[in-house]
Amino acid sequence: MKKRPHRQICGLCHRVLKLDFIVPRNIWKAVVHRHHLEAIHCFECFTERADESLIDWETDIKFMPSSLYGQIKRMGLETYNLNAPQPKE
Protein backbone atom coordinates (compact mmCIF):
# COMPACT_ATOMS: atom_id res chain seq x y z
CA MET A 1 0.00 0.00 0.00
CA LYS A 2 1.44 3.35 -1.04
CA LYS A 3 1.53 5.98 1.71
CA ARG A 4 1.07 9.65 1.05
CA PRO A 5 4.34 11.64 1.27
CA HIS A 6 4.53 14.01 4.19
CA ARG A 7 6.93 16.54 5.65
CA GLN A 8 9.49 15.58 8.25
CA ILE A 9 8.40 15.89 11.88
CA CYS A 10 10.48 17.00 14.86
CA GLY A 11 11.34 14.04 17.05
CA LEU A 12 11.01 16.19 20.18
CA CYS A 13 7.93 18.41 19.82
CA HIS A 14 6.31 16.62 16.85
CA ARG A 15 5.80 19.81 14.84
CA VAL A 16 6.03 19.68 11.05
CA LEU A 17 9.32 21.04 9.71
CA LYS A 18 8.88 23.87 7.23
CA LEU A 19 12.39 25.20 7.58
CA ASP A 20 15.33 22.84 7.49
CA PHE A 21 18.77 23.83 8.75
CA ILE A 22 22.32 22.56 8.96
CA VAL A 23 24.90 23.34 11.65
CA PRO A 24 28.44 21.99 11.96
CA ARG A 25 28.65 18.57 13.66
CA ASN A 26 30.58 19.94 16.65
CA ILE A 27 27.79 22.45 17.41
CA TRP A 28 25.11 19.79 16.88
CA LYS A 29 26.86 17.45 19.34
CA ALA A 30 27.28 20.24 21.90
CA VAL A 31 23.57 21.13 21.77
CA VAL A 32 21.75 17.84 21.22
CA HIS A 33 21.63 15.16 23.92
CA ARG A 34 23.59 12.06 22.90
CA HIS A 35 20.41 9.94 22.80
CA HIS A 36 18.91 12.30 20.19
CA LEU A 37 21.91 12.94 17.91
CA GLU A 38 20.31 11.17 14.94
CA ALA A 39 16.78 12.47 15.56
CA ILE A 40 15.22 15.21 13.47
CA HIS A 41 14.98 18.52 15.35
CA CYS A 42 12.96 21.57 14.40
CA PHE A 43 14.71 24.92 14.50
CA GLU A 44 12.78 25.97 17.62
CA CYS A 45 13.76 22.89 19.65
CA PHE A 46 17.39 23.17 18.54
CA THR A 47 17.71 26.87 19.38
CA GLU A 48 15.97 26.45 22.74
CA ARG A 49 18.51 23.84 23.77
CA ALA A 50 21.44 25.81 22.38
CA ASP A 51 20.36 28.96 24.21
CA GLU A 52 19.88 27.04 27.47
CA SER A 53 23.56 26.04 27.23
CA LEU A 54 24.72 29.45 25.92
CA ILE A 55 26.10 27.90 22.73
CA ASP A 56 26.72 30.20 19.76
CA TRP A 57 24.83 28.52 16.92
CA GLU A 58 24.23 31.47 14.60
CA THR A 59 27.61 31.86 12.89
CA ASP A 60 27.70 28.71 10.73
CA ILE A 61 24.03 27.83 10.35
CA LYS A 62 22.50 27.31 6.89
CA PHE A 63 18.74 27.49 6.26
CA MET A 64 16.76 25.66 3.60
CA PRO A 65 13.02 26.24 3.15
CA SER A 66 11.24 22.92 2.74
CA SER A 67 7.90 22.73 0.96
CA LEU A 68 6.01 19.46 0.69
CA TYR A 69 6.36 19.63 -3.10
CA GLY A 70 10.14 20.16 -2.81
CA GLN A 71 10.43 17.19 -0.47
CA ILE A 72 8.42 15.01 -2.87
CA LYS A 73 10.68 16.12 -5.72
CA ARG A 74 13.88 15.37 -3.75
CA MET A 75 12.50 11.91 -2.98
CA GLY A 76 11.96 11.27 -6.69
CA LEU A 77 8.17 11.11 -6.39
CA GLU A 78 7.31 13.93 -8.82
CA THR A 79 4.64 11.74 -10.43
CA TYR A 80 2.82 11.26 -7.12
CA ASN A 81 -0.70 12.68 -7.42
CA LEU A 82 -1.60 14.41 -4.16
CA ASN A 83 -5.22 14.75 -5.30
CA ALA A 84 -5.71 11.02 -5.94
CA PRO A 85 -7.83 9.10 -3.40
CA GLN A 86 -5.60 7.80 -0.62
CA PRO A 87 -5.72 4.23 0.72
CA LYS A 88 -7.39 3.82 4.10
CA GLU A 89 -5.11 2.68 6.90
Q: 35-77: per-residue pLDDT in tens?
A: 888 888 999 999 999 999 999 988 889 988 777 777 777 777 6
pTM: 0.69
| 66 neighbors 21 (Cβ within 8 angstroms) | no
Closest CA to 61 of 20, 1, 89, 30: 20
